[in-house]
Chain A
Amino acid sequence: MTDYFDLSRRRFLRTTAVAGAAVFAVPLLGRRAVPGAVASEAAAADSEARLFVALQPDGTVEITCHRSEMGQHARTAVAQIVADELEADWDRITIAQALGDKRYGDQNTDGSRSIRFNLERLRLVGATVRRMLRDAAAERWGVEPGSCRAEQHRVYHDASGRSLDYGELVEAVAGREPPTDVTPKDRKDWRYIGKGKAIVDMDDIVSGKATFAADVRLPGTLVAMIARPPVVLADVASVDDSAAREVSGVVDVIRMPALTENPVMFKPLGGVAVLAEHTWAAQLGRDKLKINWSESPNAGYDSASFRGRLEAACREPGDVHRSKGDVEGALAEAGDERRHAAEYYVPHLAQAPMEPPSATARFENGVMEVWAATQNPQADQSLIAGLLDLPPEKIKVHVTLLGGAFGRKSKPDFSAEAAWLAHKSGRPVRVQWQREDDIRHGFFHTVSAQRLEAALDGDGRLAALRHRSTFPTINATFEAGAEVPGFETDLGLSDAPLAIPHIQAETGRAPAQVRTGWMRSVANIYHVFALQSFLAEMAHKAGRDHRDFLLEAIGPDRVIDFKAEGSKFDNYGADFDEYPFDTGRLKHVLRRATGMAGWGRELPARSGLGLAVHRSFLTYVATVVEVAVAEDGSLRIPGTWVAVDAGTVVNRDSVRNQMEGASVFSLSYALHSAITVKDGAVEQGNFDDYPVARMPEAPAAISVEVVDSDAPPAGVGEPGTPPFAPALCNAIFAATGKRIRELPIGDQLRA
């Protein structure tokens, strides 16, 4: 176990604690070798950020990964980047997972940003260490550093035929000042970056040795299950825990701190915890609690009737986020022959990662130590610090492997529950959420209604589009009573890439009455489902081929200036010069995906192809789905084709894996999944009433083409999600003539 301390900003250290290892605490910034958005974005948040590389006496390179691993293969990608630039032998590296600590800079593993934020700076980290090793070897040999080179864990002096293993340079390299004029490799010399490297956690995963949150085992740990209020902001009015305490193995019953006021933030929901010697006893005990809950202001929430309110809001003018030309005039002038309107609805959804939330906490000697499946360990730190009135530096958050996350685990209420119970009970506590807890007490993907209306010109081209969307905003999680959306309008609403004269995007207002949070690709889910479905409807209205109609509506190859297009689109926080919205790249992925799928080919009866294309998280994705719908309404998906342009990619195979997985994730909410709420309480609880996609329903094969690109790296984890559902629904229309405007599809094809 290597333990090291960052004592000085621009120095790499050999500490007495590491038994001969050289530890490089390499500043992530401090030089402007990387121009533009990545560096400036990072600089704002991370002026003190640095990463660690340790060179152990046997030459093993230990690379610290400061991003959470939730299936996107972040640990592998970070290793690929650092090891490549360091010229490390892939078989002589190990990965250490960083604690939550602001010295690493941003660790919030969401928004598909791990590679976008870190590719260039991790390259510099690796290149800096490689240069120091080379210089140390040159000094030992008494030769010019420039006459030496590093390759695959050795430094060579070709003129004299001498070479040294990195392991032989540990002592020599310790204490050297890191150079400030390092140049990373030319990208043609990359040996790991851009390739499909096998993931570093494979052996642990397939052998069952991988440590997920619920696998952490500390001596003396109690397992806690918590009865949480069925309605958000309700409190425990009274509790009878006598039967629970009689369950063999139950050790204690503890009231959680109540949550009765907005904003809910990431705070625990409250309720009553049963602490037991093992999980089963905790569950039995929890089930025997008799609790009366107090009234909550959310008790009147009924998602079925709320739908009417959302739809009504979409039939009235709303807050405008984009306005170009004269949409009202163009729609009025078009007349029924050339005008079309449709309304779409997507319900609440739960992320439902395969591992329900879990965390273990231990409070000893004034230090709170937490092991959690968290996407953002610094959020755990600050939440726990506030809850327990402890200084953040007294809270150590270990990040385990995340058994899936999809946005759920960026809200660390479960970590705070564990910390609070460990603090209160004086024992280590592992909080285990049941699946029913996960489905009922989540931070839900919001519910939305949308109305789109468009007009064709006299030549059958798209001329005007108005897109109205109404949904409770995630802002309400952080600001009591918030009803005006924030960043959600940038996710598929104000960024429609259409070269048409009249376009307008609006939102209505609606209150949030359950906890609302991010889910993989967030508002793109509903906005892209509606827009890409509706554009297919308009192509049909015009009597045109969908692909041709869409390519024409996107218009000429160009960089879209959204300000000039009347849009407030913020480009995912990225600089527009670094990450322009390039319609040429958008059209390219559309052409590639339709090309792979054989768009236009003859298909059997009741079979169809559908497409959708979208840029999200700065990445361009087009998806084509083939569907076969049986007479009884059941469907099969023989094939799916995805073309993705994510700029520079680090692990090509992981990109494919993410596109495949995102398509299946989208399939789940397209086919089955819905969270409904009655009297303020979620009605679903497990995979029987909250079904997700299973193997027989999944595409038999998903073909993915990763476009070769030198552009800056963009997102990968999320952008595969939005286009699949509308592509599927467009395929269903092609197969059956039935238009799906509401998700999930459920029984709609059986009617």
Chain B
Amino acid sequence: MIKFTVNGEAHSVEGDGTLPLLWYLRDVATLTGTKYGCGAGLCGACTVHLDGEAVRSCVTSVAAAEGKAVTTIEGLAENADHPVQKAWAKHQVPQCGYCQPGQIMQAAALLAKNPSPDTDAIDEAMAGNICRCGTYPRIKAALLDLAEPAS
């Protein structure tokens, strides 16, 4: 029995511990905000937080989540009012929107560690998240807007 929490709620999985967390979340827990894009850790659409770290849930087994706290886009903030979510709305970032849960989770993890990222830090942190619609300039603008002035 593998136990972990998802958005603060206790979950347990019996059986195959190699089941990717992505498919547990989408098919078992019915938390479909976390997206499938590549299945190989190449695109970032499936990004969730594992004890606060951004991870690719498509290449993270449920066994690797044992005893940890999983946070998905649905649990990032009550009422979806995380500063990153609000900045996405302010800058009208999304086009199709499919990659954006992953982008938002990646961005939230970045800001939690580094509240005042510059362009290079943003590029580095976000390089693993593909947006085929090409919203990168707006994502960058939103993150620079959120970045606290370095003291």
Q: Is the CB of B73 within 8 A of A700?
A: no
A280 interfacial contact with B, CB 8 Å: yes
Do B98 and A695 touch across chains, with their CB atoms under 8 A apart?
Answer: no
The answer to whether residues A208 and B33 also contact, given A223-B27, A696-B124 and a CB cut-off of 8 A, is yes
> Are A660's CB and B74's CB within 8 A?
no
A665 CB-CB contact with B under 8 Å: yes
Quick check: is B5 within 8 A (CB to CB) of the other chain? no
- From A204, A283, A404, A688, B133 is in contact (CB under 8 Å) with A404
Specify the chain B residue showing the minimal Cβ separation from A693. Answer: B134
Nearest B residue to A698 by beta-carbon distance? B136
In the complex, are the beta carbons of A199 and B137 less than 8 A apart?
Answer: no
CB distance from B6 to the nearest CB of A (A): 13
CA distance A692 to B94 in the complex (A): 18
Instruction: Tell me if A687 and B42 are in contact (CB < 8 A).
Output: yes
Question: Are A401 and B135 also in contact (CB < 8 A) when A278-B27, A686-B42, A688-B40 are?
Answer: no
Q: Chain B interface: which size bin? A: 35 or more
- Return chain B residues, CB-CB under 8 Å to A401: 96-98
B19 and A664: CB pair below 8 A? no
How far is B100's CA from A225's CA once the two chains are assembled, in angstroms? 25
Residues in chain A near residue B132, CB distance under 8 A = 352-354, 404, 406, 665, 668, 692
Are B95 and A661 closer than 8 Å at their CB atoms? yes
Known: A71-B97, A208-B72, A657-B95. A278 touches B37 (CB 8 A): no
B139 to chain A, nearest CB (A): 7
B39 to chain A, nearest CB (A): 6
CB–CB B95/A71 < 8 A? yes
Chain B: CB-nearest residue to A402: B96
Query: In chain A between 203 and 246, which residues have their CB closer than 8 angstroms to a CB of chain B?
Result: 203-212, 214-215, 217, 223
Residue B45 CB within 8 A of the other chain: yes
Once bound together, how far apart are the Cα atoms of A558 and B22, in whole Å? 57
A208 touches B32 (CB 8 A): yes
Contact residues on A (Cβ < 8 Å of other chain), bracket = 35 or more
B138/A657 in contact, CB under 8 A: yes
**What residue in chain B is nearest A717 (Cβ atoms)?**
B95
Q: Report chain A residues within 8 Å CB of B101.
A: 206, 208
Residues of chain A contacted by B23 (CB below 8 angstroms): 278-280
In the bound complex, what is the Cα–Cα distance between A702 and B88 (angstroms)? 17
Let me know if B35 and A403 touch, CB within 8 A: yes
Contact A695 B122 (CB under 8 A): yes
Q: Is B36 an interface residue (CB 8 A)?
A: yes
Q: Are the C-beta atoms of B96 and A696 separated by less than 8 Å?
A: no
Determine whether B15 belongs to the interface, using a CB cutoff of 8 Å to chain A.
yes
A353 vs chain B, min Cβ distance (A): 6
Asked whether, in the complex, the Cβ of B130 is within 8 Å of the Cβ of A699, the reply is: no
Q: Is the CB of B80 within 8 A of A206?
A: yes
Using a CB-CB cutoff of 8 Å, which residues 371-409 of chain A contact chain B? 401-406
A694: interface (CB < 8 Å) = yes
In the assembled complex, the Cα of A71 lies from the Cα of B124 at a distance in Å of 26
CB of B85 within 8 Å of the partner chain: yes
Q: Please state if B92 and A701 are interface contacts (CB–CB under 8 Å).
A: no
C-alpha gap A279/B19 in the complex (Å): 10
Q: Is A494 an interface residue (CB 8 A)?
A: no
**How long is the Cα–Cα vector from A701 to B73 in the complex, in angstroms?**
27
Residue among B88, B96, B136 facing the most chain A CB atoms (10 A cut-off): B96
- Taking a contact as CB atoms under 8 Å apart, the answer to whether A664 and B33 are in contact is no
CA distance A289 to B128 in the complex (A): 32
- Complex interface residues of chain B between 45 and 79 (CB less than 8 A to chain A): 45, 72-74
C-alpha gap A506/B10 in the complex (Å): 67
Instruction: Note all chain B residues with C-beta closer than 8 A to A50.
Output: none
Chain B interface SS verdict (over half):
loop
Please report the C-alpha to C-alpha distance between residue A662 and residue B26 in the assembled complex, in whole angstroms. 31
Does A524 reach chain B (CB closer than 8 Å)? no
Q: Which of B20, B99, B127, B138 contacts A354, CB < 8 Å?
A: B99
Across the two chains, which residue of chain A brings its CB closest to B36?
Answer: A214
* A102 adjacent to chain B (CB < 8 Å): no
The answer to whether B38 and A686 touch across the interface, beta carbons within 8 angstroms, is yes
Q: State whether the Cβ of A355 lies closer than 8 Å to any Cβ in chain B.
A: yes
A207 touches B28 (CB 8 A): no
Cβ B27 vs Cβ A279 within 8 A: yes
Beta-carbon nearest neighbor of B38 in chain A? A435
Contacts of B85 in A (CB 8 A): 206-207
Q: Which residue of A lies closest to B92 (CB)?
A: A653
Given contacts A278-B27, A687-B130, contact A435 B32 (CB under 8 A): no
Q: Does A7 contact B (CB under 8 A)?
A: no
Q: Once bound together, how far apart are the Cα atoms of A687 and B39, in whole Å? A: 10
Does B145 have its Cβ within 8 Å of any Cβ on chain A? no
Contacting A71 at CB < 8 Å: which of B37, B127, B130, B133?
B133
Q: Kindly list chain B residues whose C-beta atoms are within 8 Å of the C-beta of A204.
A: 97
Q: Kindly list chain B residues whose C-beta atoms are within 8 Å of the C-beta of A71.
A: 94-97, 133
For residue B123, which residues in chain A have a CB less than 8 angstroms away from its CB? Answer: 695-696
Q: Tell me, yes or no, whether B119 is within 8 Å of chain A by CB.
A: yes
B107-151 interface code vs A (CB 8 A; 1 in, 0 out): 000000000000100111011111111111111110000000000
Tell which of A662, A692, A694 touches B127, judged by Cβ atoms closer than 8 Å. A694
Tell me whether A206 and B95 are in contact (CB under 8 A).
no
Chain A hits for B140, CB < 8 A: 695, 700
- Chain B residues closer than 8 Å to A355, beta-carbon distance: 35-37, 96, 98
Q: Mark A418-435, 1 if CB is under 8 A from B, else 0.
A: 000000000000001011
Query: How far is the CB of A431 from the nearest CB of chain B, in Å?
Result: 13
- A662-B134, A665-B132, A692-B130 in contact; A354/B45 too (CB < 8 A)? yes
Chain A neighbourhood of B126, CB < 8 A: 695
A205 engages B94 (CB within 8 Å): yes
The answer, among A203, A206, A210, A700, for a CB contact under 8 Å with B137, is A700
A34: CB under 8 A from chain B? Answer: no
Whether B34 contacts A208 by the Cβ 8 Å rule is yes
B contact residues around A405 at 8 Å (CB): 96
How far does the alpha carbon of A196 sit from the alpha carbon of B92 in the complex, in Å?
Answer: 10
A72 at the interface (CB under 8 A from B): yes
* Contact partners of B72 in chain A: CB under 8 A: 208
Complex CA gap A667/B34 in Å reads 27
Q: Which B residues are in CB contact (< 8 Å) with A404?
A: 95-96, 98, 132-133
A112 → chain B, closest Cβ, in Å? 14
Cβ–Cβ contact A660 & B134, under 8 A: yes
Question: Which B residues touch A403, using CB under 8 A?
Answer: 35, 96-99
Known: A207-B73, A354-B132, A696-B123. A248 touches B138 (CB 8 A): no
Task: Report the separation of the CA atoms of residues A686 and B38 in the bound assembly, to the nearest whole angstrom.
Answer: 7
Cβ contact within 8 Å between B133 and A206: no
Q: Judge whether A116 is part of the interface by a CB distance below 8 angstroms.
A: no
Residues of B within 8 A of A352 (CB): 132
Within 8 A of B (CB), among A55-72: 69-72
**When chains A and B are docked, how far (Å) is the Cα of A69 from the Cα of B94?**
12
Q: How far is the CB of B14 from chain A (nearest CB, A)?
A: 11
Q: A280-B20, A665-B132, A686-B42 are in contact. Are A354 and B137 (CB under 8 A)?
A: no
Q: Pick from B74, B98, B138, B141 the residue with the most CB of A within 10 Å.
A: B98
**A198 interface residue (CB < 8 Å to B):** yes
Given known contacts A206-B85, A248-B16, A406-B132, A198 and B92 CB-to-CB distance under 8 angstroms: yes
Identify which of B23, B38, B127 gathers the most chain A CB atoms within 10 Å of its CB.
Answer: B38
How far apart are A572's CB and chain B's nearest CB, in angstroms? 23
Partner of B92, one of A248, A657, A664: A657
Is A201 an interface residue, CB under 8 A from the partner?
yes
Contacts of A201 in B (CB 8 A): 94, 97
A467 interface residue per 8 A CB criterion: no
Return 7 A-B CB contacts under 8 Å, by A number: A203-B80, A206-B94, A212-B98, A248-B16, A355-B37, A404-B133, A664-B136
Sorted nearest first, the 5 A-B pairs with minimum C-beta distance are: A208-B33, A664-B134, A403-B98, A71-B96, A71-B95
Beyond A354-B45, A702-B137, 13 additional contacts (C-beta under 8 Å) are A214-B32, A279-B27, A283-B39, A354-B99, A354-B133, A404-B98, A435-B39, A657-B95, A662-B134, A664-B137, A687-B130, A694-B127, A696-B127
